[in-house]
A = this chain, B = another copy of it.
Amino acid sequence: MSGRDERGERGGVEAPGGILVVGSVALDTVETPFGKAEEVVGGSAVYFGSAASLFGHVQLVGVVGDDYPLDRLDFLRARGADLEGLEVAGGRSFRWSGVYDYDLNARRTLSTELGVFADFQPTVPDTFRSAEWVFLGNIDPALQHGILDQIDAPRLVACDTMNYWIERDRDTLLALLQRIDMLVINDSEARELSEDHNLARAARWILDRGPRHVVIKKGEHGAVLFHEDRVFFVPGFPLEEVFDPTGAGDSFAGGMLGQLARAGRVTERELRRAVVFGCALGSFACEAFGPDRLRDLSLHEVGSRVQGFLEMTRFEHQMPVGP
Q: Which residues of A contact B (CB under 8 A)?
A: 102-103, 197-201, 204, 218, 220-222, 224, 230-235, 238-242, 269, 272-273, 275-276, 298-300, 302-304, 306-307, 309-317, 319-323
Please name 11 further chain A to chain B contacts, defined as beta carbons within 8 Å, in addition to the given A103-B197, A272-B316, sorted by A numbering. A102-B197, A201-B240, A204-B240, A233-B313, A234-B313, A276-B317, A299-B322, A300-B322, A303-B320, A306-B317, A310-B315
In contact, B198 and A240 (Cβ under 8 angstroms): yes
Chain A contact residues: over half helix, strand or loop, or mixed? mixed
CA distance A317 to B312 in the complex (A): 13
CA distance A304 to B317 in the complex (A): 10
Residues of chain B with a CB closer than 8 A to A302's CB = 321
Smallest CB-CB separation from A54: which chain B residue?
A: B323
Kindly provide the distance from the CB of A202 to the nearest chain B CB, expressed in whole angstroms.
10
Oligomeric state, in number of copies? Answer: 2
- Give every chain B residue within 8 A of A306 (Cβ-Cβ): 317, 321
Which chain B residue lies CB-closest to A274?
B315
Q: Which residue of B lies closest to A275 (CB)?
A: B315
In the bound complex, do residue A310 and residue B317 qualify as a contact, i.e. CB atoms below 8 Å apart?
A: yes
Cα(A238)–Cα(B214), bound, Å: 14
* Contact indicator B233/A315 (Cβ below 8 Å): no
Q: Which of B269, B275, B300, B316 meets A273, CB within 8 Å?
A: B316
Say whether A232 contacts B313, CB under 8 Å: yes
Please, how many angstroms separate the alpha-carbon atoms of A298 and B323 in the complex?
Answer: 8
Q: Knowing A198-B242, A200-B239, A235-B233 are in contact, say whether A299-B323 is a contact too (CB < 8 A).
A: yes
Name A198's closest neighbour in chain B (CB-CB): B240
User: Can you name 10 A-B pairs with beta carbons within 8 Å?
Assistant: A199-B220, A221-B221, A230-B312, A232-B312, A272-B314, A299-B323, A306-B321, A310-B315, A310-B317, A314-B314
Q: How far, in whole Å, are A103 and B275 apart by their CA atoms in the complex?
A: 27
Q: What residue of chain B has the Cβ atom nearest to residue A276's Cβ?
A: B315
Shortest Cβ-Cβ A-B pairs, 3 listed: A303-B321, A233-B235, A200-B238
Interfacial chain B residues near A235, Cβ < 8 Å:
222, 224, 233, 235
- Report Cα–Cα, A309/B204, bound state, in Å: 19
* Residues of chain B with a CB closer than 8 A to A320's CB: 300, 303
Residues of B near A233 (CB, < 8 A) are 222, 235, 312-313
